[in-house]
């Protein structure tokens, strides 16, 4: 009994001020209360100034031990920071490659990076597929921008760069930058940029394009697109130039000012990355890169949308699969717990048996001891009894003799006395 | 085998349907961020402008439903709220239409623009509600409609190749019109709100408030509030969804003092003290709709449109929709037969 008036929506005029023009503010206020997330991935060889550039971009010294380069393969180091500016709370995560390009065989160097990016998509997908989920409070770790650091050789891209960027371009917004660009002269830089751009195009590498559909930013973004890759310099050292303190690098032949657009493209990078397109980078990550990942993952798992009738089927299968997986996990855990329980019981039984055995032995020993003692005592008693008996006999005999002697000895004693008197 | 205990564990783990009250952003398990003191302007606060620009470009959707017996001024009120002919009655529908024998759901959409902000507004009317002799279960078609919109959204969301912007037809706000009897809520009012407050944001309004004096209005509102409380009906803004202390203080005031808003609607203008105002003309005076001493229309308008519109949408999306989704996915681990029953559907749902 649902009736919709017409397909397309007619525009009707308002006869007065309604007040829904406050909607963007309402939405923005909610986002501000909630806080924002921004995640940057820095890919580049050791020594290209990745952490210095981050420090420079965000005007701060990000604490942290300098990465240990002792591990053999490519590692990814991630740190999260809380930044606050005006009423905006930004949870900034910076991920950097460690040891990228250090290996002799670099065939697999890109793999840890791809795996990391995919892992963040996977985590989000898992949350999205949960039955009871909290998406609006989820800490989004998906990479919004990948700064690819190109070594300032002045010649061309290395094959490692091309291979890596090709593997990443469908997964993340790539912004290529020429690192430590104060090593290249202005004229060489122009040639270098052209070479890089043409190599990227001929290899079909899709880098992030600053959006030109919104008229308010179309012009600036369009201009900036033409300046890619940005030639940057990073420095947190401040030097006095003129009567101002500026971020700069001092050489014997002059001072390179980081924020001087004639010296390098740092300001352009900051403008594009943070002040103009941060929201677009986040949106592209979610609506394009993540959707692609999700689609591929689900198709990999064997699901497809074919026609309207089969949609419930695929949904059911996904959840059935998840549910079975979950049940399987539970069963496994329960089995493991039961095994452990049985094991413990066995061990305890063995312990108790052991203890019982010991007790029995002890008892037997004591019993034997007791019997021995008893026997000894009995023997002693017997011998004492014998002694007593013997003594009694002797006593009786002695008494008898004595009484006999007394009878005969009254005369005997007299006789002895008489003999003595004589 | 261990089918028994495992099943109940799954049930227990997965059957928690009521979403938790919104918490502060979750602290990530990694070592927490270092608070950096900033030296110099970075420009991250520009994200506000960037976001604002993007939303202006995409535009907004808003879907509002009106429920109440016929004659309570629903269409007029919606037209007054949006200062344009957006309701069913004004869009070419026959004014002399008979009251339908059952509850019908009629949605009509328009685009309105103000200050560069484009809004696709859909007004969903429910003629026939409460108008029958026997009104038992007349909320069911309405509940069904609301759930159908959640279903539509869910279907699109779970597609493998899905639209960039999923079309949102979900009801963000349901204005429930209470008859100004001056006594108490009727059993139908309570029944409807009890059932529907769990699936949609309900904002109760006292219609045709120009039939009550100020004292009668205050007393009636108090009684209504008490009855809603006693019956455990949580109208929007729901207590459990207050995000922080600031929200709670602001919303407490609205919940305990202002709501339900006693409103009067009108699309006619009159001259009062040299100004043109929206009003209703009576022999004893002109009731100025937007005059706060006359009625609370302006409060309702500010509440729904100027301060809480985005929140109405977010509560619908983050809470009501999620509840629906979780319930849906829990039943048999899939979908109960809501669509045309195909063979697969039928078998798996036996």
Residue B265 — φ and ψ, nearest 5°?
Answer: -115, 155
Q: Cβ contacts (< 8 Å) between A300 and chain B: which residues?
A: none
**What residue ranges define each of the domains in chain B, with the CATH number in brackets?**
62-89+99-128+136-265+296-331 (3.40.50.300)
Peptide bond between residue B237 and the one before it cis (omega within 30 degrees of 0): yes
**Interface touch A12/B102, C-beta < 8 Å:** no
What 3-state DSSP class applies to B6?
Answer: helix
Q: Cβ contacts (< 8 Å) between B37 and chain A: which residues?
A: 60
ipTM given for this complex: 0.80
The shortest CB-CB distance from A10 to any of B110, B161, B308 is to B110
Q: Could you write out the DSSP letters of every residue in B263-323?
A: ------EEEETTEEEEEEEETTEEEETT-TTT-SHHHHHIIIIIISHHHHHHHIIIIIHHH
User: By the CB < 8 Å criterion, does B105 face chain A?
Assistant: yes
Q: So what's the pLDDT on residue B18?
A: 44
Q: So what's the pLDDT on residue A216?
A: 87
CB-based contact B206:B180 (threshold 8 Å): yes
Q: Cβ contacts (< 8 Å) between B63 and chain A: which residues?
A: none
User: By the CB < 8 Å criterion, does B153 face chain A?
Assistant: no
Q: So what's the pLDDT on residue B338?
A: 35
Q: Measured between CA atoms, how close is B227 to chain A, in angstroms? A: 32
Q: So what's the pLDDT on residue B117?
A: 93
Positions in chain A short of pLDDT 70: 1-8, 64-67, 302-320, 322-323, 409-422
CB atoms within 10 A of CB B25: 16
pLDDT means per 10 residues in chain B (350 residues)? 42 44 42 54 90 90 94 91 82 62 88 93 92 87 95 90 91 95 89 94 93 91 94 92 87 91 89 88 90 91 95 95 90 43 36
CB-based contact A264:A256 (threshold 8 Å): yes
Q: How many residues does chain A have?
A: 422
Q: Measured between CA atoms, how close is B183 to chain A, in angstroms? A: 33
CB-based contact A246:A238 (threshold 8 Å): yes
Q: Could you write out the DSSP letters of every residue in B186-250?
A: -HHHHHHHHHHTTTS-EEEEE-SGGGS-HHHHHHHHHHHHHHHHHTT--PSSPGGG--SHHHHHH
pTM summary value: 0.76
Q: How many residues does chain B have?
A: 350
Q: Cβ contacts (< 8 Å) between A334 and chain B: which residues?
A: 2, 5-6
Closest residue in B to A317 (Cα) is B334
Summarised one tens digit per residue, pLDDT across range A152-187 is 998 899 999 999 999 999 999 999 999 999 999 888
Q: So what's the pLDDT on residue A71?
A: 78
The shortest CB-CB distance from B305 to any of A20, A82, A275 is to A20
CB-based contact B26:A80 (threshold 8 Å): no
- Would you tell me which residues 272-311 of chain B have a C-beta closer than 8 angstroms to some C-beta of chain A? 278, 301-302, 305-311
> CA B206 to CA B189: how far, in whole Å?
12
Q: So what's the pLDDT on residue A87?
A: 86
Closest residue in A to B164 (Cα) is A287
């Amino acid at each position: 009994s649902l009736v919709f008036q017409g397909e397309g929506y007619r525009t009707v005029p308002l006869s007065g001020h309604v007040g829904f023009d406050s909607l963007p503010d309402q939405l923005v206020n909610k986002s501000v209360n909630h806080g924002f997330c921004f995640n940057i991935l820095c890919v580049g060889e050791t020594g290209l100034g990745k952490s210095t550039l981050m420090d420079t971009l965000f005007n701060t010294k990000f604490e942290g031990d300098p990465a240990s380069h002792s591990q053999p393969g490519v590692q990814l180091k991630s740190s999260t920071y809380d930044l606050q500016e005006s009423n905006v709370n930004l949870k900034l995560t910076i991920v950097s490659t460690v040891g990228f390009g250090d290996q002799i065989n670099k065939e697999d160097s890109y793999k840890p990076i791809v795996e990391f990016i995919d892992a963040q998509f996977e985590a989000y997908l898992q949350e999205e597929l949960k039955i009871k989920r909290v998406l609006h409070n989820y800490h989004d770790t998906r990479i919004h921008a990948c700064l690819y650091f190109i070594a300032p050789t002045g010649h061309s891209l290395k094959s490692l760069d091309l291979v890596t960027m090709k593997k990443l371009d469908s997964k993340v917004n790539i912004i290529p930058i020429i690192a430590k660009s104060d090593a290249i002269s202005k004229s060489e830089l122009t040639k270098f940029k052209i070479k890089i751009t043409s190599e990227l195009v001929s290899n079909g590498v899709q880098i992030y394009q600053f959006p030109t559909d919104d008229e308010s930013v179309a012009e600036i973004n369009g201009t900036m697109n033409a300046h890619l890759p940005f030639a940057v310099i990073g420095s947190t050292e401040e030097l006095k130039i003129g009567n101002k303190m500026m971020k700069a690098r001092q050489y014997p032949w002059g001072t390179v000012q980081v924020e001087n657009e004639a010296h390098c493209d740092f300001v352009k990078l900051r403008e594009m990355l943070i002040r103009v397109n941060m929201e677009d980078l986040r949106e592209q990550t979610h609506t394009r890169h993540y959707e692609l990942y999700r689609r591929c993952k689900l198709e990999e798992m064997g699901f497809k949308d074919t026609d309207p009738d089969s949609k419930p089927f695929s949904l059911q299968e996904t959840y059935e699969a998840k549910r079975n997986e979950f049940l399987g996990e539970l069963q496994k855990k329960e089995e493991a717990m039961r095994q452990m329980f049985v094991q413990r019981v066995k061990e305890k039984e063995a312990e108790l048996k052991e203890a019982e055995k010991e007790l029995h032995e002890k008892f037997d020993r004591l019993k034997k001891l007791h019997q021995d003692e008893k026997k000894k005592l009995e023997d002693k008693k017997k011998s004492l009894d014998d002694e007593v008996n013997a003594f009694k006999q002797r006593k009786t005999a002695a008494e008898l003799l004595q009484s006999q002697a007394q009878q005969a000895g009254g005369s005997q004693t007299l006789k002895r006395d008489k003999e003595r008197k004589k | 085998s261990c089918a028994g205990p495992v099943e109940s564990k799954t049930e227990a783990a997965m059957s928690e349907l009521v979403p938790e009250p919104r918490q502060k952003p979750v602290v990530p398990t990694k070592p927490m961020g270092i608070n950096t003191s900033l030296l110099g302007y970075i420009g991250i606060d520009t994200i506000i402008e960037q976001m604002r620009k993007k939303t202006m470009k995409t535009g907004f959707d808003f879907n509002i439903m009106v429920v109440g017996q016929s004659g309570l001024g629903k269409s007029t009120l919606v037209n007054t709220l949006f200062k344009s002919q957006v309701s069913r009655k004004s869009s070419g529908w026959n004014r002399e239409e008979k009251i339908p024998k059952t509850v019908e759901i009629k949605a009509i959409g328009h685009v309105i623009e103000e200050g560069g902000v484009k809004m696709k507004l859909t007004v969903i009317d429910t003629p026939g509600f409460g108008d029958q002799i026997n009104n038992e279960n007349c909320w069911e078609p309405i509940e069904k409609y609301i759930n159908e919109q959640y279903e539509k959204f869910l279907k699109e969301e779970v597609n493998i190749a899905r639209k960039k912007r999923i079309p949102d037809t979900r009801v963000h706000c349901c204005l429930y019109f209470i008859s100004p009897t001056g006594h108490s809520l009727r059993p139908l009012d309570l029944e409807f709100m009890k059932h529907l407050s769990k699936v949609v944001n309900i904002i109760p309004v006292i219609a045709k408030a120009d039939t009550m004096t100020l004292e009668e209005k205050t007393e009636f509102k108090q009684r209504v509030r008490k009855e809603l409380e006693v019956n455990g009906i949580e109208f929007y803004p729901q207590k459990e969804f207050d995000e922080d202390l600031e929200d709670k203080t602001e919303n407490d005031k609205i919940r305990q003092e202002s709501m339900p808003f006693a409103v009067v609607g009108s699309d006619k203008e009159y001259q009062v003290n040299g100004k043109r105002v929206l009003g209703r003309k009576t022999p004893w005076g002109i009731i100025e709709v937007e005059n706060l001493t006359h009625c609370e229309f302006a409060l309702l308008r500010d509440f729904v449109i100027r301060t809480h519109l985005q929140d109405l949408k977010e509560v619908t999306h983050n809470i009501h929709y999620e509840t629906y989704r979780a319930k849906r996915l829990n039943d048999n681990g899939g979908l109960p037969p809501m669509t045309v029953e195909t063979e697969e559907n039928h078998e798996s749902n036996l």
